[in-house]
Every structure is written in C-alpha cells, then in structure tokens.
Amino acid sequence: MKRLPNEIVNIIYDYDGRYKENYNKTIKQIDGYNNWFKLKKETIISSMMHYYLLLEKESRNYLKDTQELTFSKFFFENNLK
C-alpha cells in the first residue's frame, strides 16, 4: 500500500479542520491546567503566609516548595503519573 507524501497529508488536515480543532482543544486544556496551577499556588501561599512563624518545619518547607513551583513542573508531575 502506497503512502501519501507528508505535504499532502498536512494539506488534507488543514483543509478538513481537524488540526486546528485539536490544536484549539489542546490550548484550552493547557490554559485550564494553568488556571488551576495559579489558583492552587496562590491559595496555598496566601493561606499559609500569615502564619509562617507558627508553622512547623515541614509546613514551612511545603510553603517554600510551593513558592518555587513552576507551571511546567506542576504540569508534568500531575500528567505523567
């Protein structure tokens, strides 16, 4: 069975819209993860920051780790399990 050249396949995907539809779904999903990340990080920091001197060492370390957490680390740790 012969295969079509990649250029033809790309033109077909562009024409029927599946590529753009999948791209838009992926962007929306990543945006949702980013919003969840920001909400979680800001909530943890704002709820623990005022009581920093009262926290135990384990909780202080958790707060520090949360402050240093990046989106990419959050995304890949939660999606590669």
Closest CA to 47 of 58, 57, 39, 36: 39
> Tell me: the pLDDT tens digits for 30-78?
999 999 999 999 999 999 988 888 999 999 999 999 999 999 998 888 7
Reading the block at residue 59, the tokens are 């909780």
Collapsed DSSP state (helix, strand, coil) of residue 17: coil
> Tell me: the pLDDT tens digits for 6-43?
888 778 777 777 778 888 999 999 999 999 999 999 99
DSSP conformational letter for 36: H
